[in-house]
A and B are shown apart, each in its own frame.
Chain A
Amino acid sequence: MSEAAIQQFNIQIGNELTRNVQPLLHEIRHALGNFLECGETRIIDLRSIPLAPGEEDRILSLLGQGEVQAQLNALGPSEIIETEYAGVWVVTHYNADNEIISRFIEITAMPDILRSQTEDAIAAYSRLATTLEENQETNQSFAEKQK
């Protein structure tokens, strides 16, 4: 929602709201420090924190956008962005109507959901083998016809 739209509904945006922006940024800094020292990863659910209108946008704006931006297509789109601060990611899950269903800040080298999952890789291995077998049969049949 734009600032103008918020003001139209008499909802103040400014410096007097929940004041949860600064503490949250400190929490992220602390988590990043922990990650660097002991490899401990951390996920913060933005939906669990009371935020006033405009504050979530402010947090995202302060974190900015870094070098990586990935788009998933799994049960609706998901957006995975590394912020300007390496090791700090914003993961946003949408439903099929592009409405946000959850948003997390992850402090990690790479969010788990980006990695290929073992179960999917096993299924992929099997699928690929089947495809190759089918191709082989098609090739053989084609070769026999050529004779």
Chain B
Amino acid sequence: MTNRSNGNDKTLGEVLRSRGVSRRSFLKFCAATASMMALPPSMIPAIANALEKARRPSVIWLSFQECTGCTESLTRSYAPTIENLIFDTISLDYHHTLQAAAGHAAEAAREAAMEENNGNYLMVVDGSIPLANPGYSTIAGISNHDMLMDTAKGAAAIIAVGTCASYGGIPHADPNPTGAVSVSDLIKDKPIINVSGCPPIPVVITGVLAHFLTFGVIPELDHLGRPMAFYGKSIHDRCYRRPFYDKGQFAETFDDEGAKKGWCLYKLGCKGPTTYNACATTKWNNGTSFPIESGHPCLGCSEPDFWDGGGFYKALSIPTEDITKNAIYAAAGAVAAGVAIGALNSAKKKRAASAHQKTTIDDLEK
């Protein structure tokens, strides 16, 4: 965590030079940044010029109903140097998982950062916001809703990191017991960038930060508020197994000849055709591979309501109204026997039970 008072007024160029980073190293950093932002390499000189003059923005990172997977994804991405430099170019003033301060001191840091950088700080949010009962998730006694609305007031822009913050994610899955909503459900008057994924690809997170740093504006977004540079193409469009789909060659099970030959996983439930993300080119674990390359269908984790898609191993099942409603009742019955069940009649319960789909080992072996 960088100290807020540690030179927010310095440009990135000045910060790097004071640390003895050579121009050649800086060019390497810019080349990696261009690649990270999915920008053409011809933009490297422009990126170098812009980053040289960029000033470190204050960043306030709020974590609500989340599993910390998004923070894990980011902090356990690349080891030192390039990624650290991206972090060094922001002043991360509040992040309750990473910061040393706790309790009142931590909240005081957030409030001070908000006051000192009013109108200019970046707000990053991971996790959804529960509306059913504020007690489901609070920080220092403050409800997630109140903290979000209060902190958003002075933000220049908001980055919703992960599918939970972007679209509600797993907490929002039927029956949504906490009444989870996304950031954009609540905030309408600020620019919001959705960096969806469960978790998002780490370089996509840093790529969006780098874009804001470089150009001072938010990147071009798709209809779901995601940066086009990373979410502009479907997994299917960029999948190396696509030629098999085009030829009608599919794996029917996980261990048949088709699977062994690396054929298309569409029939095994791959959501690649309806999922927009950069996994197929950026890949995971420092470019090692991505789920389809490891032989597993895409789950579609960067799309809204991916958890309610009717089964990960069903070929592109789109949830119908009936399935959704029944799943609500069935899950509500399992999780909150009592209050929710009391509201259901027995006929509905039976229908819910019959429609509720569980993924078993048999499903995997079909």
B41 touches A99 (CB 8 A): no
A12 touches B262 (CB 8 A): yes
Q: How far is the CA of A91 from the CA of B35 in the complex (A)?
A: 13
Stretch at the interface among A57-65, A68-76, A81-89, A135-143: A68-76
Knowing A95-B78, A97-B79, A120-B22 touch, does A45 contact B35 (C-beta < 8 A)? yes
Q: Closest residue to B247 on the A side, CB-wise?
A: A16
A99 touches B24 (CB 8 A): no
Contacts of B18 in A (CB 8 A): none
CB of B228 within 8 A of chain A?
no
Contacts of B238 in A (CB 8 A): 50
Q: Please, what's the 1-or-0 string for A89-121, where 1 marks a CB less than 8 Å from any CB in chain B? A: 001010111011110100000001100011110
Q: Closest residue to B44 on the A side, CB-wise?
A: A43
Q: Please, what's the 1-or-0 string for B26-55, where 1 marks a CB less than 8 Å from any CB in chain A? A: 011101101110101110100000000000
A75 touches B28 (CB 8 A): yes
CB of B3 within 8 A of chain A?
no
CB of B259 within 8 A of chain A?
yes
Q: Please, what's the 1-or-0 string for B276-295, where 1 marks a CB less than 8 Å from any CB in chain A? A: 00001110001101000111
Q: How far is the CA of A32 from the CA of B83 in the complex (A)?
A: 33
Contacts of B21 in A (CB 8 A): 75
B242 touches A18 (CB 8 A): yes
How close is B79's CB to chain A, nearest CB, in angstroms?
4
Q: List 23 A-B contacts (CB under 8 A).
A: A9-B294, A10-B295, A12-B260, A12-B262, A17-B240, A18-B240, A43-B41, A43-B42, A47-B287, A50-B242, A51-B240, A52-B293, A53-B293, A72-B24, A95-B79, A95-B81, A96-B80, A99-B79, A102-B31, A104-B41, A117-B23, A117-B24, A119-B23
CB of A19 within 8 A of chain B?
yes
Q: How far is the CA of A75 from the CA of B24 in the complex (A)?
A: 9
Knowing A10-B295, A53-B293, A102-B35 touch, does A95 contact B80 (C-beta < 8 A)? yes
Q: Please, what's the 1-or-0 string for B284-315, where 1 marks a CB less than 8 Å from any CB in chain A? A: 00110100011100000000000000000000
Contacts of A129 in B (CB 8 A): none
B32 touches A93 (CB 8 A): yes
Contacts of A16 in B (CB 8 A): 243-244, 261
A17 touches B286 (CB 8 A): no
Q: How far is the CA of A91 from the CA of B24 in the complex (A)?
A: 14
CB of B99 within 8 A of chain A?
no
How close is A28's CB to chain B, nearest CB, in angstroms?
14
Contacts of B83 in A (CB 8 A): 95
Q: How far is the CA of A50 from the CA of B260 in the complex (A)?
A: 20
- A17-B262, A117-B23, A119-B23 given; 20 more Cβ-contact pairs under 8 Å: A16-B244, A16-B261, A17-B243, A18-B243, A47-B281, A47-B282, A52-B241, A74-B22, A76-B80, A93-B32, A95-B81, A95-B82, A96-B81, A97-B78, A99-B79, A101-B82, A104-B31, A113-B24, A117-B27, A120-B23
B261 touches A75 (CB 8 A): no
Contacts of A18 in B (CB 8 A): 240, 242-243
Q: Closest residue to B285 on the A side, CB-wise?
A: A99
Q: How far is the CA of A48 from the CA of B203 in the complex (A)?
A: 13
Q: How far is the CA of A121 from the CA of B80 in the complex (A)?
A: 26
CB of B74 within 8 A of chain A?
no
CB of A49 within 8 A of chain B?
yes
CB of B317 within 8 A of chain A?
no
Q: How far is the CA of A16 from the CA of B241 in the complex (A)?
A: 9
A10 touches B243 (CB 8 A): no
